[in-house]
Amino acid sequence: MSLFSKFTSLFTRGERAVVDWNDLEQTLIGADLGPALAQRVSTRLHDARDLSLPDALAELLSPAERSLQVATDGPTVILVVGVNGSGKTTSIGKLSAYLARQGKSVLVVAADTFRAAAREQLQTWAQRTGVTCIAGRDGADPAAVAFDGVSQGIDQRADFVLIDTAGRLQSKEGLMDQLTKIRRVIEKKAPVSEVLLVLDGSTGQNALSQAESFTAAVDVTGLILTKLDGSTRGGAALAIEATLGTPIKWIGTGEGVGDIAPFDPDAYIAQLLAQ
């Protein structure tokens, strides 16, 4: 059954609609909103009888600006962070193509000097999208590689410098400290305009912990929510929006160059409720 028939009563409210609250809770929890947030939505709908379900979900979205912050002077530096395998390198590849298509000059920096062939993966993407890639040696200090990348971005008058970092689990303090250091070293050269946390769309309740820890380490300014081309509905990101106010800025929907788009609230909410 399509959702839109199932929850019609919640889309156009007004008259005393009969709502299957159980079903609603299941839908929201099934989308990874988590039990607490699901409860909050359902309470809100109980209280505000004229509120539609999509509007109740939209209320949870962050009021923060969703477009990329652009530097006024020199290249816009974007640091990309996240746990292992969330889609950082791929997202940088796609994002650089997106920006290049808008006529921007983009430089990508391979500061993941840890994972085997991570540098080559980014180089392959750069070739594919026709942007410049700056890379350090394997095992090189990632902060130094990032610093060099930003320096070259300034020299080459690039519009954007996108920095790829190694995946790290947020519970590893040493690695999180390393990330803080990377940011600090970059900022000796140029301010960081955006820190984008790449979140795998199928992540469950651990997502909030990721956002909290990465924000504590490097002050995350936005999310890239990936792999929404699968069967997941990506609701854990809504908990981040509602709790921390960190906005989702981009959505990843595949492994191809074009599979990235700026966040669209309506489409996101529709996907949350899809059955």
Ligand X SMILES: Nc1nc2c(ncn2[C@@H]2O[C@H](COP(=O)(O)OP(=O)(O)O)[C@@H](O)[C@H]2O)c(=O)[nH]1
Kindly state whether residue 155 participates in binding other proteins, applying the rule CB under 8 A: no
Kindly state whether residue 232 participates in binding Mg ion, applying the rule CB under 5 A: no
Is residue 77 within 8 Å of residue 107, measured between CB atoms?
no
Do the strands 132-135 and 222-226 form a parallel or antiparallel pair, or are they unpaired? unpaired
Kindly state whether residue 142 participates in binding ligand X, applying the rule CB under 6 A: no
Site size with Mg ion, rule: CB under 5 A = 4
The C-alpha torsion from 9 through 43 and 206 to 28, rounded to 10°, is -10
Please name the helix (run of DSSP H) or strand (run of DSSP E) that holds residue 152, with its range, or none: helix 142-155
SS3 assignment, position 267: helix
Chosen residue from 90, 210, 215, 221 binding ligand X by CB under 6 A: 90
Kindly state whether residue 69 participates in binding other proteins, applying the rule CB under 8 A: no
Place of tokens 């292992």: 84
Piece of 11-19, 36-44, 88-96, 262-270 that binds ligand X (CB under 6 A): 88-96
Chosen residue from 227, 234, 238, 239 binding ligand X by CB under 6 A: 227
Cα–Cα distance measured from residue 87 to residue 255, given in angstroms and rounded to the nearest whole number = 9
Site size with ligand X, rule: CB under 6 A = 18
Chosen residue from 62, 76, 89, 232 binding Mg ion by CB under 5 A: 89
180 binds, among other proteins, Mg ion, ligand X, none (CB under 5 to 8 A by kind): other proteins
Residue 151 or 206 with smaller CB distance to other proteins:
206
149 binds, among Mg ion, ligand X, other proteins, none (CB under 5 to 8 A by kind): none
Q: Which two tokens stand for residue 218?
A: 């490097």
Q: Which two tokens stand for residue 109?
A: 């920096």
Sheet hosting strand 106-111, strand order edge to edge: 132-135, 106-111, 160-165, 76-81, 192-200, 222-226, 248-252, 260-262
Binding site for other proteins (CB under 8 A): 26, 29-32, 34-36, 83-87, 93, 114-118, 120-121, 124-125, 128, 141, 143, 169-175, 177-178, 180-181, 200, 202-207, 209, 212, 227, 229-233, 235-236, 255
